[in-house]
């Protein structure tokens, strides 16, 4: 058994056992397993948490991204801009919507989409058609239709400049908020803190068990302030049904189970506190690790209140450090070890090593340390001591 597990959900859940069992009993008795009042109540409360008018529960974060793209009018052959250092679901959803993923590199400090690289891509590789006002790629002559910034590790991308570029080039912005339930961004433009999921035309959330708000299985949601987008997603998730066996379009089997909605409702009530615990753990890690030579700790800009889905440090000899920690019983993770543009899945997209140097460097240096609500300061000290020990040994070798 790990001395410090990477993630411990059992401890978190055990104090809520009776409430979870009650959800199960209720579901069994009502026999309403898909959709229904629990799903609707969860949608209302989750939308409220995000500072959004609508939330639509779906089957997963990947479904949420795909439905959001489709509902926002992204069509087959469109190009959609995202980043290479994300989970593959982001680009899979783009392809599943019939569109083509294109990547722009990330910011060195935040690891999220760089608005400078986005601007550069739009200015040098795209043009705006005078007639339609649509943005096209200069080489493929395909429309560039949307941007998906990813709020990676629980910290939001710098949204103001992204939204401004989107406006200038008439692009839809869909937030990948799958790691950022409750994260906040201070918008200079609006002079207010804004929640993840409330800024773009729509946003995708995942409730995969390990996320900050996790179900007991697969689940996801789309948030939006646009009634029309919310309505289309409700139809898409349910085979295009507008009423029983009346299908206005072809859709998908992408609904949220009532049981999962019930579990999520119980957990949603604790999300703010759990996120605060994660922030405190992050602060404590910062104090313990910042003095260690060769360790870079996560950077949190003043405009960000992150929810630390992951706590990711950056070091030179990442693989050796990971092995060292594993041998000491400390769980770690790599998010993500190979950027998307270098994955075999995208080998025919024309990218090569060196295409996105910031992402590539990050991928070879990053290491995710144990992070979950309930992580004890003693456990954090064990982790920090082990990192310190390894860094001193590796320094001596030189
Ligand atoms: C988890 C995740 C997804 C996909 O969510 P699923 O619920 O697993 O489909 C998409 N994007 C990011 C950044 C994620 O972390």
Does residue 208's CB lie within 6 angstroms of at least one atom of ligand 1?
Answer: yes
Distance 211 CA to ligand 1 centre (A): 9
State the pairing for strand pair 220-224/54-58: antiparallel
Starting at the edge strand found earlier in the chain, the sheet holding 79-82 runs: 54-58, 220-224, 202-206, 172-176, 144-147, 79-82, 100-103
- For position 216, what pLDDT does the model report? 97
User: How many Å apart are CA 307 and CA 275, to the nearest integer?
Assistant: 5
- For position 149, what pLDDT does the model report? 98
- For position 394, what pLDDT does the model report? 84
- For position 395, what pLDDT does the model report? 76
Which tens digit of pLDDT belongs to each residue from 283-312? 999 999 999 999 999 999 999 999 999 999
| Residue 371 DSSP label | -
For a pLDDT cut of 90, what percent of the chain falls above it?
97
User: How many Å apart are CA 372 and CA 385, to the nearest integer?
Assistant: 19
Is the model's pLDDT at 5 over the cut of 60?
yes
The CB density around residue 346, as the number of other CB atoms within 10 Å, is 18
- For position 398, what pLDDT does the model report? 57
Average pLDDT of every residue of the chain? 97
Distance 95 CA to ligand 1 centre (A): 15
Does residue 87's CB lie within 6 angstroms of at least one atom of ligand 1?
Answer: yes
Write the CB contacts of 56 (distance below 8 Å, at least 6 apart in sequence): 43, 67, 221, 222, 224, 230, 233, 234, 237
Starting at the edge strand found earlier in the chain, the sheet holding 184-187 runs: 192-195, 184-187, 304-305
Mutate which of 206, 257, 336 for ligand 1 pocket (most atoms within 8 A of beta carbon): 206
- For position 1, what pLDDT does the model report? 56
Which tens digit of pLDDT belongs to each residue from 71-113? 999 999 999 999 999 999 999 999 999 999 999 999 999 999 9
Does residue 234's CB lie within 6 angstroms of at least one atom of ligand 1?
Answer: no
Residue of higher predicted confidence among 394 and 378:
378
Distance 378 CA to ligand 1 centre (A): 31
Does residue 154's CB lie within 6 angstroms of at least one atom of ligand 1?
Answer: no
With 0.95 as the threshold, say if the pTM is over it.
yes
Which tens digit of pLDDT belongs to each residue from 148-180? 999 999 999 999 999 999 999 999 999 999 999
Task: Using alpha carbons, select from 213, 367, 378 the residue that is nearest to residue 284.
Answer: 378
- For position 110, what pLDDT does the model report? 97
Cβ contact 41:199 at 8 Å: no
Cβ contact 81:146 at 8 Å: yes
Angle at CA 383, nearest 5°, toward 380 and 386? 150
Taking each continuous run of H as one helix and of E as one strand, the counts in the chain are 12, 16
- Mean pLDDT calculated for residue range 323-350: 97
Distance 353 CA to ligand 1 centre (A): 25
Does residue 179's CB lie within 6 angstroms of at least one atom of ligand 1?
Answer: yes
Give the ligand 1 atom nearest the CA of 152.
13
Max intra-chain CA distance, the chain: 71
* Cis, peptide link before residue 15, omega less than 30° from 0: no
Question: In 348-387, where do the E strands start and end?
Answer: 366-369
Give the ligand 1 atom nearest the CA of 218.
7
Distance 129 CA to ligand 1 centre (A): 34
For a pLDDT cut of 70, what percent of the chain falls above it?
99
- For position 33, what pLDDT does the model report? 94
Which tens digit of pLDDT belongs to each residue from 197-211? 999 999 999 999 999
Cβ contact 355:361 at 8 Å: no
Length of the chain: 398
Task: Using alpha carbons, select from 361, 369, 380 the residue that is nearest to residue 316.
Answer: 361
Q: What is the DSSP string of 69-124?
A: HHHTT--TT-EEEE-SSS-THHHHHHHHTT-EEEE-PBPTTT-SB-HHHHHHHHHH
For residues 78-97, b (16+ Cβ closer than 10 Å) or e, as one string?
bbbbbbbbbbbbbbbbbebb
- Mean pLDDT calculated for residue range 237-265: 96
The CB density around residue 60, as the number of other CB atoms within 10 Å, is 23
User: How many Å apart are CA 233 and CA 217, to the nearest integer?
Assistant: 21
Q: What is the DSSP string of 242-300?
A: EETTEESS---B-BPBHHHHHHHHHHHHHHHHHHHHHHHHHHHHHHHHTTSTT-BPPP-
Give the ligand 1 atom nearest the CA of 86.
13
User: How many Å apart are CA 124 and CA 126, to the nearest integer?
Assistant: 6
Terminus-to-terminus CA distance in the chain, angstroms? 34
What is the helix, strand, coil percentage profile of the chain, to 5? 40, 20, 40
Does residue 232's CB lie within 6 angstroms of at least one atom of ligand 1?
Answer: no
Which tens digit of pLDDT belongs to each residue from 11-46? 899 999 999 999 999 999 999 999 899 999 999 999
């Amino acid at each position: 058994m790990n001395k410090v597990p990477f993630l411990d959900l059992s401890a978190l859940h055990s104090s809520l056992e009776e409430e979870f069992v009650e959800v199960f009993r209720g579901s069994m008795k009502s026999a309403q397993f898909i959709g229904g009042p629990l799903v609707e109540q969860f949608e209302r409360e989750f939308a409220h948490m995000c500072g959004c008018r609508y939330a639509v529960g779906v089957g997963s974060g990947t479904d949420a991204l795909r439905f959001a793209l489709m509902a926002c009018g992204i069509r087959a052959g469109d190009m959609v801009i995202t980043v290479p250092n994300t989970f593959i679901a982001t680009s899979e959803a783009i392809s599943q919507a019939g569109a083509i993923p294109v990547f722009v590199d990330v910011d060195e400090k935040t690891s999220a989409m760089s608005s400078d690289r986005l601007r550069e891509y739009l200015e040098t590789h795209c043009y705006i058609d005078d007639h339609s006002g649509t943005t096209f790629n200069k080489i493929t002559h395909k429309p560039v239709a949307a941007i998906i910034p990813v709020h990676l590790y629980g910290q939001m991308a710098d949204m103001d400049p992204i939204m401004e570029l989107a406006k200038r080039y008439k692009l839809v912005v869909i937030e990948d908020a799958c790691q950022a339930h409750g994260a906040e961004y201070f918008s200079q433009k609006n002079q207010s803190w804004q929640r993840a999921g409330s800024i773009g035309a729509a946003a995708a959330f995942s409730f995969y068990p390990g996320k900050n708000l996790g179900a007991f299985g697969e689940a996801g949601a789309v948030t939006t302030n646009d009634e029309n987008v919310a309505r289309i997603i409700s139809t898409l998730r349910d085979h295009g049904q507008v009423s029983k066996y009346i299908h206005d379009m072809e859709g998908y089997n992408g609904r949220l189970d009532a049981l999962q909605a019930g579990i999520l409702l119980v957990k949603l009530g604790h999300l703010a506190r759990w996120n605060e615990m994660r922030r405190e753990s992050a602060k404590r890690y910062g104090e313990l690790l910042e003095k260690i030579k060769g360790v870079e700790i996560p950077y949190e800009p003043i405009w960000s209140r992150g929810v630390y889905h992951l706590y990711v440090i950056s070091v030179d000899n990442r693989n050796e450090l990971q092995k060292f920690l594993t041998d000491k019983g400390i769980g770690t993770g790599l998010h993500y070890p190979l950027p998307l543009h270098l994955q075999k899945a995208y080998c025919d997209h024309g990218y090569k090593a060196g295409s996105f140097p910031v992402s590539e460097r990050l991928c070879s240096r990053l290491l995710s340390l144990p992070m979950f609500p309930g992580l004890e300061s003693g456990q954090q000290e064990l982790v920090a001591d082990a990192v310190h020990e390894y860094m001193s040994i590796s320094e001596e070798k030189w």
